[in-house]
Amino acid sequence: MPVNKVYIAGNALKDGVSMQKAITTCEQLGVPFALPAYSFRLGRARPQGAENLLHGYVHYLVHEPKLRARAVKRVFDIISSAVALWTLLPLMFVIAILVKLTSRGPILFKQKRVGLNGRPFHMLKFRSMLANAEEIKASLAAQNEQSGPVFKMKHDPRVTPLGRFIRKFSIDELPQLINVLRGDMSVVGPRPPVPTEVAQYAAWQLRRLSVRPGLTCLWQVSGRSQISFEEWMYLDMQYIDHWSLASDLRLILRTLPVVITGRGSS
């Protein structure tokens, strides 16, 4: 269930242990929380700085808000995705025709993914696999080459010949620019997982859902499928803890040569 914020109510003297456990859990999961600001009920009286004490609770964030920087990030997402969609429209049109002509099934593959604060959305891709790829996946589970709950297979028999090419150079990801424009995703952020993967996450790994997912992040420029699942998760935590507009710009610049050469793809 998506959670924006947790209100932790109780008496600190009587319920301190339980409240501390709730605080620790929120910090571990990356969920903002609020604690009672005072133990007395107030009518007209208000403490100084009351703008920070909404509804009698002190509100806490699990990472630095950087509100202006995040607003700039969202404006950048909107402008860059709109410009990229317009510029790449001819290429996307050609790929759409090739997908339709070379294999049976829909042009676009819509898959349920988990986004900001656990909210589900449908991520878009050019279809690079057989139409019944999801049904075949269970029979290939024993051949998974990735650790953790993620399925990765270098020579996946479900991938079409055209699909192998567009996956190598991340062309299949281009429709996700629509997800960025709509606000489901950002240009930079942890890759959005599927619900079955999230269900198998360790508690600390759920913190990667505390930011908007993206097209690229540290994983994409650090070897992609060549690194382990746990290393991937630690890279995402590193991104969340040290995020800045400058780090986003550096990741975008580092992603370009990776996409052009197809390095680390599977």
116 and 210 assigned to the same domain = yes
26 and 152 assigned to the same domain = no
Is residue 266 included in any domain, yes or no?
no
Residue 246 belongs to domain spanning: 67-261
123 and 218 assigned to the same domain = yes
Structure tokens at 16: 């301190």
52 and 126 assigned to the same domain = no
24 and 81 assigned to the same domain = no
Q: Are 178 and 85 in contact (CB under 8 A)?
A: yes
18 and 127 assigned to the same domain = no
Q: Are 173 and 216 in contact (CB under 8 A)?
A: no
Is residue 1 included in any domain, yes or no?
no
- Residue after which a domain boundary falls, among 60, 89, 104: 60
192 and 240 assigned to the same domain = yes
Rounded Cα distance, 23 and 4, in Å: 15
Q: Are 204 and 28 in contact (CB under 8 A)?
A: yes
28 and 85 assigned to the same domain = no
44 and 98 assigned to the same domain = no
- Enumerate residues 6+ apart whose C-beta is below 8 A from 182: none
Mean pLDDT within 99-120: 94
How confident is the model at residue 166, as a pLDDT? 94
Give the chain's domain count: 2
Interval 31-90: pLDDT, tens: 888 888 766 665 555 555 555 565 777 788 887 778 899 999 999 999 999 999 999 999
CB atoms within 10 A of CB 217: 25
168 and 220 assigned to the same domain = yes
